[in-house]
Amino acid sequence: MNPLNLMRLVAPECILVIFALTALFMDVATLREQSAKVRQWVVGSLSGVACLTVMIWIACIRPEGSYSMVELPAVSFLLKEVLLGLTLVTALISFDAKFTRHIGEYYALLLLAAVGLMLLISSNNLLMIFVAVELVSLSLYAMTALDKTSPASAEAALKYFLFGSVAAAFMLFGISLLYGVTGQLQLDAIAGKLQTQHLEPIHYVALVMTLTGFAFKIAAAPFHLWAPDVYQAAPTPIASFIASASKVGSFFVLARIVLAGFGSARGGAGWGHLAAGWVPVLAILATVSMVIGNLVAIVQTRVKRLLAYSAIAHGGYALMALLADEQRAVSSLLFYVITYAITVLGAFGVVAMVEHSGGRDRFSDFAGLSRRAPLLSFCMLVFLLSLAGIPPLSGFFGKFYVFTAAISGPDHLQAFWLLIVGGATSVVSIYYYLQVLKQIYVAPAPANVGSLNISMPAQIGIVALAIAVIVLGFAPGLLLGRLNDGLTLVASNL
Amino acid sequence: MEQSQIDQYIPVALLGLVAVLFAGGVLAASVIFGKLGKRGGIKETAYECGMLPIGEGNTRMSVKFYLVAMLFILFDIEVVFLYPWAVIYKDMLKHDANLIFGSMLSFLGILFVGYIYALKKDAFNWKQ
């Protein structure tokens, strides 16, 4: 029991916390008299440096192992690098944003949310996971409300907060019931106990309640009601963070809980062979999410709201991966979620740039964007086609791995009904993505607008994301290989 | 086991039933008897310990009250955590001195940062 060992494992999080507090203080103490632009650039750069420092730290030290409540599987390096990368691009997108005067607070909350996500990945103890979820959630609630001039932003934040706290209560109640029946909080210990116990109604209540809490976090229907409002009304860089980084963390921890903790209460989701457990719950959540998300997205006329419904649908696709057996489930889920996060962050980045030039997120604001900003429009084309799952972009391979994973699991071809739903709804989804692209490439630009006023750091970030989407489409092995390498080291205790 | 588990919940279910019946009964009774009675004028006013009600029912409070309440909770919780820490401090000192001291030090350090932040933001300045 050497506390230094613990410090070694959580050093990245500690460094990031120190940076977050520095950002907060720099703004309050030294930059008060400066103009908003200077403060934005200084504090924003500090946050960027923070993410880069921690990324390099993790790449060099590669902390691994476990201590008390912290357990780092090998795949956690990669996930943390991805999370920090997403946070970095979010910071880049918000460099020239004007939604708030509270610049230090904004970047500090962003970094603290990143810390929460990293802790979420690091822990295998339900209590610690809950604390990490709360750290992320509270930062996100506050960031959603940061635009004090917008009543919609405050309304969305309140809605997010109320839904979120009810979901947290469900999760906590589920965890307490699990603790009641197993006497354990460590996931591996819970798994051990569950294996020896006869499953009773109370086990299923505990399981469903815990899953409800996480279904809210990943905005799976029918727990999705907060998502459209929050995505729409939150300042765009924050919406992009909620849609990308927080999804990666939440999906990983959901996978870890169900696969490592509830392994023996799996059940089955085969057509005509439903058996009680978490698999049928997730299969139904996935189906409802895919159907509701894709169908409701068709009628949207605001791009951010459309992306919110598409996020719900993509949450459904990602859940399908969990039907596979452990290793395949985690690798295909992570590949899907990571590529999705990269893509959606880029799409929100383009929306942020349109808003930056005085537009909003209506379809008409995107009319003729290809003439106003050719490079960004091309990036948007890449992002939206990848979201729709058009080969050879990475979104296609994500969907492909998830679909094949779903029928490779213990349910085999009996889970094929999920694939049919998934395939049919993804055909539907092409329609609404193309609606946006039609505005960008076909519709004429309004007469009175000039070329887009683009913030340079944001453009760098968006182009980098578009390149990542294309590269991962042509060479998915780059990421998938690393995911599999990471997993083989921990397949026993992930 | 399953049977006994459900048995334990019978009193809870009964309590729930009584609660629903009582709440529903009182509401129904007030509707029924309210319709029967005479109304109007002084009977419609709010009852404030015999005083005549003045002004709006919901007055606006200064946001500073909430700020003070939040800060109070923050530093109150700090003390709540200090008590159990102080109780086990001597025992833990023998096992793992660094851990017991370092964890509280870092906790207080983070709260101290919060205190300085509140101070710098003029959160304690009532007049501002």
Token representation of residue B85: 């820490």
Name the residue in chain A with its Cα closest to that of B120. A28
Every domain of chain B and the residues it spans: 2-44, 63-120
Which carries the bigger pLDDT value, residue A340 or residue B102? A340
Nearest CB to A1 within list B96, B102, B110 = B96
ipTM over 0.85: no
- Rounded Cα distance between A481 and A58, Å, is 19
Confidence at residue A33, expressed as pLDDT on a 0 to 100 scale? 78
Interface test with B, best of A68, A107, A200, A203 (most B CBs within 10 A): A200
* Residue A493 in this model has a pLDDT that exceeds 50: no
**pLDDT per residue as tens digits for the range A366-391:** 988 898 889 999 999 999 999 999 98
Give the structural domain span for A363: 3-488
* Residue A324 in this model has a pLDDT that exceeds 90: no
- Rounded Cα distance between B43 and A450, Å, is 67
In a domain, A195, yes or no: yes
Kindly calculate the radius of gyration of chain A based on its CA atoms and give it in whole angstroms: 22
In DSSP notation, B69-81 reads HHHHHHHHHHHHH
In a domain, A295, yes or no: yes
pTM to 2 decimals? Answer: 0.89
- Contacts of residue A251, defined as CB under 8 A and 6 or more positions apart, other chains included, come to A218, A318, A333, A334, A337
* Residue B48 in this model has a pLDDT that exceeds 70: no
Nearest-Cα distance to chain A for B8, in Å, is 13
Predicted confidence band of residue A489 (pLDDT cuts 50, 70, 90):
very low
In a domain, A493, yes or no: no
**pLDDT per residue as tens digits for the range A423-452:** 999 999 999 999 999 999 998 888 777 788
* Residue A270 in this model has a pLDDT that exceeds 80: no
Confidence at residue A47, expressed as pLDDT on a 0 to 100 scale? 93
> Using alpha carbons only, what angle is made at residue A281 by residues A401 and A310, rounded to the nearest 5 degrees?
55
Confidence at residue A3, expressed as pLDDT on a 0 to 100 scale? 67
In a domain, A208, yes or no: yes
Give the burial string for A113-139 (b: 16+ CB within 10 Å, else e).
bbbbbbbbbbbbbbebbbbbbbbbbbb
A4 interaction partners in chain B (CB closer than 8 Å): 98
Give the burial string for B59-70 (b: 16+ CB within 10 Å, else e).
eeeeeeeeeeee
Q: Do A201 and B98 touch (CB under 8 A)?
A: no
Residues A264, A181 contacting (CB under 8 angstroms): no
Nearest-Cα distance to chain A for B125, in Å, is 16
DSSP state of A270: E
Confidence at residue A156, expressed as pLDDT on a 0 to 100 scale? 94
**pLDDT per residue as tens digits for the range A117-165:** 999 999 889 999 999 999 999 999 999 999 888 899 999 999 999 999 9
Confidence at residue A89, expressed as pLDDT on a 0 to 100 scale? 95
* Residue A274 in this model has a pLDDT that exceeds 90: no
Predicted confidence band of residue A492 (pLDDT cuts 50, 70, 90):
very low
- Rounded Cα distance between A158 and A141, Å, is 8
What's the structural domain count of chain A? 1
In a domain, A59, yes or no: yes
Nearest-Cα distance to chain B for A80, in Å, is 23
SS (H, E, C) B107-126: HHHHHHHHHHHHHHCCCCCC
- Contacts of residue A88, defined as CB under 8 A and 6 or more positions apart, other chains included, come to A48, A51, A52, A55, A461
Name the residue in chain B with its Cα closest to that of A1. B96
Collect all residues from A whose CB is shorter than 8 A from any CB in B.
Answer: 1, 3-4, 17, 21, 24-25, 28-29, 198, 200-202
Confidence at residue A74, expressed as pLDDT on a 0 to 100 scale? 79
Name the residue in chain A with its Cα closest to that of B103. A3
Does residue B5 sit at the A interface (CB-CB below 8 Å)?
A: yes
**pLDDT per residue as tens digits for the range A170-182:** 999 999 999 999 9
In a domain, A494, yes or no: no
Residue-averaged pLDDT of chain B: 83
Q: Long-range contacts: A419-427, Cβ < 8 Å, 24+?
A: A419/A320, A421/A287, A421/A290, A421/A291, A422/A286, A422/A290, A422/A316, A422/A317, A422/A320, A425/A290, A425/A291, A425/A293, A425/A294, A425/A295, A425/A313, A425/A316, A426/A294, A426/A317, A426/A388, A426/A389, A426/A399
Helix ranges (DSSP H) in chain B: 2-8, 10-36, 63-95, 97-120
> Which residues are bridge partners to A273 per DSSP?
A270
A21 interaction partners in chain B (CB closer than 8 Å): 110, 113
**pLDDT per residue as tens digits for the range A394-417:** 999 999 999 999 888 887 778 888
Tracing tokens 């409802």 back to the chain, one arrives at: A288
* Residue A487 in this model has a pLDDT that exceeds 70: no
Q: Do A28 and B121 touch (CB under 8 A)?
A: yes
* Residue A238 in this model has a pLDDT that exceeds 90: yes
Residue-averaged pLDDT of chain A: 89
